[in-house]
């Protein structure tokens, strides 16, 4: 019972943290090259260890596109059965990634040092 409850609480904490960081991870991923939705989801889950859902990633992608941070285009590739919508980073997106990454590093370094102070 207690074990179950604490697992649930841990999942909740993780979800809260991940939500804010999904955008940063996404920008970082798109800085490599243009990706399409399913590929983004697989890489964020597999490489970045972020448990993001389809229902989260697509609205986020569209919001970033509307904000001018990403640019999207439909491409029909030879190996794909259907056209895929690819998202690439714009210059504004690159600048946003730099700013967010710097902020995250500063934050995590300070918080890490703070948590380490008593070995907790």
Partner 1 sequence: MIATPQDRAVADWLRRLKWALAALPESDRDDIVAEAAAHLEEAAAAGRSTGEILTGFGAPELYARPFLDQAELARALGSQTAADLAGAVARRVHRSLVAALAGAALLAIVVVMFVAVTLVVMEVQDPIHTGLWLGAHVRFIGQIDDPSIARDLLGGWLIPLAAVVIGGGWVIGRLLLLAAVRRLARPG
Q: Please report whether residue 92 would count as binding partner 1 according to CB under 8 A.
A: no
Q: Please report whether residue 12 would count as binding partner 1 according to CB under 8 A.
A: no
Among 18, 31, 62, 94, binds partner 1 (CB under 8 A): 62
Q: Please report whether residue 71 would count as binding partner 1 according to CB under 8 A.
A: no
Is 80 or 109 the residue whose CB approaches partner 1 more closely?
A: 80
Q: Please report whether residue 38 would count as binding partner 1 according to CB under 8 A.
A: yes
Number of neighbouring beta carbons within 10 Å of residue 19: 13
């Amino acid at each position: 019972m207690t074990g179950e409850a604490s697992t649930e609480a841990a999942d909740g904490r993780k979800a809260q943290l991940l939500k804010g960081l999904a955008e940063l991870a996404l920008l970082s991923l798109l800085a490599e090259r243009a990706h399409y939705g399913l590929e983004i989801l697989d890489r964020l889950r597999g490489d970045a260890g972020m448990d993001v859902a389809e229902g989260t990633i697509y609205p986020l992608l569209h919001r970033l596109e509307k904000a001018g941070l990403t640019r999207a285009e439909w491409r029909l590739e030879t190996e794909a059965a259907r056209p895929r919508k690819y998202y690439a980073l714009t210059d504004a997106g690159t600048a946003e990634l730099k700013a967010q990454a710097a902020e995250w590093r500063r934050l995590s370094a300070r918080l890490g040092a703070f948590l380490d102070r008593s070995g907790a």
